[in-house]
Amino acid sequence: MNDTQYYPETLSVRAGTESTEYGENSEALFLNSSFRFKSAAQAAARFGGTEPGNIYSRFTNPTVTMFQNKLAALEGAEQCVATSSGMSAILACVMGLCSAGDHVVASRSIFGTSVQLFGNILKRWGLNVTFVSLTDPAEWQAAITDKTRLFFVETPSNPMTEVCDIRVLADVAHAAGAYLVVDNCFCTPAIQRPLALGADIVIHSATKYIDGQGRCLGGAVLGSKALMEPVYGFLRTAGVTMSAFNAWVFLKGLETLHVRMEAHAKNALALASWLETQPWVARVHYPGLASHPQHALAMRQQTSGGGIVTFEVKPRAGQTPQEAAWALIDATQLISITANLGDAKSTITHPASTTHSRVTAEARATAGITDGLVRIAVGLEHIEDLKADLALLTA
Ligand SMILES: *Cc1c(COP(=O)(O)O)cnc(C)c1O
C-alpha cells in the first residue's frame, strides 16, 4: 500500500496490515515466541541477515510488525520500533542514541516519570540533562553544549497544555547537530504529525489514545531508518519488546483513532468553553480556547485542541485550594478518579498530589501547577452528562 496515496483516516484502517494464506480480514494474532526454519542453512541465513524473516518474538513478531507499519504510515516515519511501554520507548530512544557523557536538553513540563528517568536514573549512567522552559527557545539555545545529542519535548504539555513551536525548536536543535524528540502521546498522529514539522523522532505511550480504551501498556519510537537502527538494536538485546497480544489490541485501536480523537476534542472544547463560564472556576487551560496563550500556534500545528482540559477551582471561604479541588473531584459520580488518560471513560485527577507530587513545591509553582488545579482527560460520554457530573458540587 502506498502511504501517500490515501487520506490519514484510510491509513488508520488499512495501512500496514497483511493477511496470511487464510485471507483473514482482521489481523492475525501470532502468540508464538519463536519461528521454525526449513533447514540449518535457512536458520543461518536468517541469523546472518541475508534472508529476511522472523526469528524470535523478542526481535520481531508479525503482529507487532503490522502495528509498527501502521503507526509509521500515520506518523509519516520510515520506521517504527514498538516497545513494552511509553517509558521503555523513551529509554530505548536514549540508550540507542546516547552514550555516557552525552547531554540532553529536556522540557521541564514533561511526564513526571520521564523527569525521573532523565533526571535520576539516566543521570546515574552518565547522561547530563538540563531542564528548560518548553515555550522559550532562547533557553534551549543557551543550554546547548558540544555534547548535546537530543532535545526532548511534549507538546501540549501535561498538565498545563502549553504548546511549543516544533519547527523553531527543530531548527535550534539541528543547528547544534542535535535531534528533536517529540512525545506525541497527547495528540497522536490524528491531531499532530511532528516529523512533518521538522522533528526527528516521535515517542508514543500507546497505552493512552492509541489503545483508547484503557486495556494495554505499550509504546513506540519512530523516525528515519538510520536513527531507528540503534534504537531497535537496544530493544532486541535488552528485550523491552511489545507483546504480540498488546500489538493486536493497538492495531484495533488505531483503526478508530481518527473518529475517537475528533470526538474527544469536540467534547473537550465544549467542556472547556463551559468551564470558562462557571463562577467556581478561576482559570481554564485548553489549547482550543482563544484564551490559551499559544492558541494560534496550537491551531497551526494541530488539527484540534486535543482531549485534555485543565482548570483551577476557586476555593470557597475558609477552603484551601487543595480542599476545593479535592471536594470537586470527590463530588463526581460518573468521571473516574484516576491519573490515566486517553480512555473512552473520562478521568479526573489532582496533579499536585498525584502525577506531580514528587516534583518539588517550588518546581510545581514555576510550572503553574497550583494546588487548585484539576485535570480532566475528556472521554466519549455525552457532554451534558459530563457537565452535570462536574456541577454536582455547586448544584
Ligand atoms: C503515560 C505517558 C508516558 C509513559 O507511558 P507508559 O505507557 O505509562 O509507560 C510517557 N509520556 C506521556 C506524555 C504519558 O502521558
Q: Which of 208, 215, 242, 343 to mutate to test the pocket of ligand 1 (most atoms within 8 A of CB)?
A: 208
Q: Is the pLDDT of residue 385 over 80?
A: yes
Which pLDDT value is given to residue 364? 84
- CATH topology agreement for domains 3-30+61-255 and 258-390: no
Architecture in CATH of 258-390: Alpha-Beta Complex (3.90)
pLDDT digits (tens, 9 = 90+) for 337-355: 998 999 999 999 999 999 8
Which pLDDT value is given to residue 356? 85
First CA to last CA distance, the chain: 54
The pLDDT of 19-31, averaged and rounded, is: 95
Q: pTM of the entire structure?
A: 0.96
Which pLDDT value is given to residue 1? 64
Centre of ligand 1 to C-alpha 187, Å, is 13
CATH class held by domain 3-30+61-255: alpha beta
Tally Cβ neighbours within 10 Å of residue 175. Answer: 10
pLDDT digits (tens, 9 = 90+) for 28-78: 999 999 999 999 999 999 999 999 999 999 999 999 999 999 999 999 999
Task: Give, using CA atoms, the residue closest to atom 6 of ligand 1.
Answer: 86
Q: DSSP for 72-130?
A: HHHHT-SEEEEESSHHHHHHHHHHHH--TT-EEEEESSS-HHHHHIIIIIIHHTT-EEE
Domain boundaries in the chain?
A: 3-30+61-255, 258-390
Q: Among residues 301, 284, 287, 278, which one has the least CA distance to residue 394?
A: 278
The pLDDT of 205-227, averaged and rounded, is: 98
Q: Is the pLDDT of residue 4 over 80?
A: no
